[in-house]
């Protein structure tokens, strides 16, 4: 069918990717899944390929390649494997939009390739801008590529700024649910289990993002992402706890007026907005009703108890490769916590220790960003042996 937007989903088996496929399923006249990419969940990738019959699929884990290829041998679907294939697939001529929904640092290089190829990028991988924001925007200035944010907070700000002069921004206000441990003290957090941390009150997300939400690191990453997306300095980006998760973020303008974007706490709306931009296709799903909410409440974040948010602000202000170090240490820490090798409060401790032990570079190039990530992970892992 002509004029359908051809989508490459990097991370098709994750939370964002599966929801994007739900949208493609519901709007077959508007979208088609051109490429599906997964890290190692080849079984779900097989099911997705059979339903959507993309032009190509990629499994980053090369050990799963043969089983994937054999399982799809009866379909006209190209099968590739490895990280290089993931990068190359993001620049395919047959792709109109690249949805980067991979988790963590792994999204950086494919996003760079997509920018170099001039693609529209629906960005759901905030770590790309956290670890290499300066590199991304240097490339964007030389390319026809564009970025449309998918994170609900940044999508909200993006929508609030449509038709506005960027110079009229006085402040960006990111909302946060507060996660499952809102109002708890450090003594409580020292004893929480991964199962408790994964029990988010409002959102259904992957494990890594859910833990980041519980520790407020997710909001810290979003502060850094907002800085790069909208060109606003750290001192003009605020975070407010909004437990209902209905107001997704706000923009305060120079005249004192404030715009807010609202909706049910569901990622389908920002995903569909990014894929359909600049249009808004009708949807009878995810309708918000004021009658379901008797009140909206707001609180200041507790930076002493939830140190990760302050760490992120400090790293943004320090600049250079500090956010890259922080991100690498956090990815290691979250994995260790999920495996019950460190405590929940040990996540912050490990990040802080790694930042003190890793060399700071003021303006890292791509090679130095990659080296920083690798070195920081090794340092964090070694330091974790001394952290409870």
- Three-state SS string across 122-168, please? EECCCHHHHHHHHHHHHHHCCCCCEEEECCHHHHHHHHHCCCCCHHH
Check residue 2 and give its pLDDT: 58
β-bridge partners, 149:
123
Nearest in space to 248 (alpha carbons), one of 219, 220, 224, 215? 219
Q: Which residues of 330-339 are buried (b: 16+ CB within 10 A; e: fewer)?
A: bbbbbbbbbe
Q: Are strands 258-262 and 247-253 parallel, antiparallel or unpaired?
A: antiparallel
Start-to-end C-alpha separation, the chain: 57
Contact between 177 and 200 (Cβ < 8 Å):
yes
What are the residue boundaries of the structural domains of the chain, listed by start?
5-149, 151-305, 319-388
As given in the structure block, the two tokens for residue 80 are: 């590739």
Digitized pLDDT (tens) for each residue of the chain, 388 residues in all: 558 999 999 999 999 999 999 999 999 999 999 999 999 999 999 999 999 999 999 999 999 999 999 999 999 999 999 999 999 999 999 999 999 999 888 899 999 999 999 999 999 999 999 999 999 999 999 999 999 999 999 999 999 999 999 999 999 999 999 999 999 999 999 999 999 999 887 777 789 989 999 999 999 999 999 999 999 999 999 999 999 999 999 999 999 999 999 999 889 999 999 999 999 988 877 788 888 888 999 999 999 999 999 999 999 999 999 999 999 999 999 999 999 999 999 999 999 999 999 999 999 999 999 999 999 999 999 999 998 7
> Which residues, other chains included, contact 145 with Cβ-Cβ below 8 Å and sequence gap of 6+?
114, 115, 116, 117, 118, 119, 120, 121, 139
Predicted structure pTM score: 0.94
Check residue 218 and give its pLDDT: 95
- Between CA 267 and CA 15 the distance in angstroms is 9
Nearest in space to 238 (alpha carbons), one of 186, 174, 328, 185? 174
5-149 against 319-388: fold identical = no
DSSP class of residue 388 equals -
Contact between 175 and 249 (Cβ < 8 Å):
yes
Check residue 31 and give its pLDDT: 97
The CATH number for 5-149, chosen from 3.30.70.260, 3.40.50.720, 1.10.357.10, 3.30.70.120, is: 3.40.50.720
Contact between 10 and 99 (Cβ < 8 Å):
yes
The backbone torsions φ and ψ at residue 35, rounded to the nearest 5 degrees and listed phi first, read -140, 135
Dihedral angle sign, alpha carbons of residues 383, 321, 174, 128: negative
- Between CA 383 and CA 52 the distance in angstroms is 45
Contact between 126 and 150 (Cβ < 8 Å):
no
Check residue 28 and give its pLDDT: 94
Dihedral angle sign, alpha carbons of residues 116, 120, 125, 127: positive
Q: Is 100 helix (H, G, I), strand (E, B) or coil?
A: strand
> Which residues, other chains included, contact 62 with Cβ-Cβ below 8 Å and sequence gap of 6+?
81, 82
The CATH number for 319-388, chosen from 3.90.1150.10, 1.10.1740.10, 3.40.50.1970, 3.90.79.10, is: 1.10.1740.10
Neighbouring CB atoms inside 10 A of 388's CB total 10
């Amino acid at each position: 069918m002509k004029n359908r937007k051809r989508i490459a989903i990097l991370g098709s088996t994750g939370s964002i990717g599966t929801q994007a496929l739900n949208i493609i399923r519901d709007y077959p006249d508007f979208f088609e899944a051109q490429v599906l990419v997964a890290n190692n969940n080849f079984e779900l990738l097989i099911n997705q390929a059979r339903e959507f019959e993309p032009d190509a699929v990629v499994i980053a884990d090369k050990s799963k390649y043969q089983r994937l290829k054999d399982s799809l041998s009866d379909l006209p679907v190209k099968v590739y494997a490895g990280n290089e294939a993931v990068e190359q697939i993001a620049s395919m001529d047959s792709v109109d939009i690249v949805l980067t929904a991979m988790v963590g640092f792994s999204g950086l290089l494919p996003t760079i390739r997509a920018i170099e190829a001039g693609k529209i990028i629906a960005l759901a991988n905030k770590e790309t801008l956290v670890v290499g924001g300066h590199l991304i925007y240097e490339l964007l200035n030389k390319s026809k590529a564009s970025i449309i944010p998918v994170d609900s907070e940044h999508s909200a700000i993006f929508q609030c700024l449509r038709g506005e002069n960027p110079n009229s921004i006085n402040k960006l206000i990111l909302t946060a649910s507060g996660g499952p441990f809102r109002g708890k003290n450090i003594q409580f957090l020292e004893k929480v289990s991964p199962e408790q941390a994964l029990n988010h009150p409002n959102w259904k997300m992957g494990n890594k993002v859910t833990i980041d939400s519980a520790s407020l690191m997710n909001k810290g990453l979003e502060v850094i992402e907002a800085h790069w997306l909208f060109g606003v300095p750290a001192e003009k980006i605020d975070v407010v706890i909004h437990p209902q998760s209905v107001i997704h973020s706000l923009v305060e303008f120079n005249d004192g007026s404030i715009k807010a974007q609202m909706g049910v706490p569901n990622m389908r709306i920002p995903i569909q907005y990014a894929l359909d931009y600049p249009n808004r296709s009708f949807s009878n799903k995810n309708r918000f009703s004021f009658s379901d909410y008797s009140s909206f409440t707001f609180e200041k974040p507790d930076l002493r108890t939830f140190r990760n948010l302050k760490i992120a602000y400090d790293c943004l202000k320090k600049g250079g490769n500090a956010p890259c170090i922080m991100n690498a240490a956090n990815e290691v820490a979250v994995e260790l916590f999920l495996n019950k090798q460190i405590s929940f409060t040990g996540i912050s401790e490990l990040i802080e220790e790694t930042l003190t032990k890793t060399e700071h570079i003021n303006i890292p190039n791509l090679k130095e960003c990659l080296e920083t990530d690798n070195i920081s992970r090794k340092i964090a892992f070694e330091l974790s042996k001394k952290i409870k």
